[in-house]
Amino acid sequence: MTVTAPDDPKTLVSTGWLAAHLKDPDLRIFDASWYLPDMGRNALAEYQKAHIPRSRFFDIDDISDHRSELPHMAPPVEKFMSRMRALGVGDGHQVVVYDGAGMFSAARVWWLFRLMGKTDVAVLDGGLPKWLAEGHAVTDTPPIIRDRHMTVTRQNQMVCDVTEVARAAKLGDHSIIDARAPERFKGDAPEPREGLRAGHIPGSRSVYYKDLLHDDGTMKPPSALRTVFHDAGVDLKKPAITTCGSGVTAAILSLALERIGKTDHALYDGSWSEWGMYADLPIATGAA
């Protein structure tokens, strides 16, 4: 039997919770599906074919900072506000985010809302696969959207740049946690993006994001999450920095940290797409 944690509209809600609240007037739902090229899936096409009723499509690559050469970096505040207004999402709304993989990219959008100072946002535990498995309805009809004003206060402490991460790695005063597969962390497997070195940030710890999830894509309860971090050698007394390949699955680590009550965590937005690109940044290989 899969053990799940209680619903929390600020972090994680169940499919049952969403079904019960589906018609709430101030609920806004996002399909934030995003896939790596080797997954062979088209997120927008899948959304257009079938999505949870009333959900909007959140394009992670579009709602990003196009001034950066790095993939889907967090957008400027003004761009985030304008995109959300166009999608009919604003102040006073409860947001629920899901994806088509179960738990893969939705946490990135949860983190992005938190970065922008919005706390009434949760990830749908188990995502669309669990919703479908339970027989809940889907539709191909787009929602009716009306403009809504949004006030944003960017929480700069929730994101790190390469300089801050390099300093933290050198001083050892943060727990740097890497969500990539162990083979990539060790440097035994090539990176999916060309031109990147293999390995990990010196001093970082490997916590594969899938180790935080049950087989059905739902997140493990807080007690089990703590065990995963502990077994990986993560010092939870230190402030945490989460990282991955391009800042997507790192947000699953951030969500898990929030679920266990740890609030002093930041996400390295450039992640390995940036760190692995620069020859002057140190790397480590093998196990942590």
Q: How many residues are recorded in the chain? A: 288
- The answer for 29, left when phi > 0, alpha when psi is -120 to 50, beta otherwise, is beta
- Which whole-number Å values give the CA distances from 37 to 34, 42, 43, 192, 272, in the listed order? 10, 9, 11, 9, 17
- Both tokens of 214, joined, read 């049950």
Residue of 115, 177, 244, 266 marked catalytic:
244
Q: Which string of b and e fits 59-72 if b means at least 16 CB within 10 Å?
A: bbeebbeeeeebbb
CA gap 49, 46 in Å, rounded: 5
* Alpha helices, DSSP H, located in the chain: 15-21, 43-49, 77-86, 106-115, 127-133, 162-171, 182-186, 222-231, 250-259, 271-275
Nearest to 8 by CA among 128, 125, 115: 125
CA gap 171, 39 in Å, rounded: 37
Q: Look up 160 and say whether it is catalytic.
A: no
- Both tokens of 28, joined, read 């806004």
Say if residues 98 and 128 touch (Cβ distance below 8 Å).
yes
Catalytic machinery residues: 244
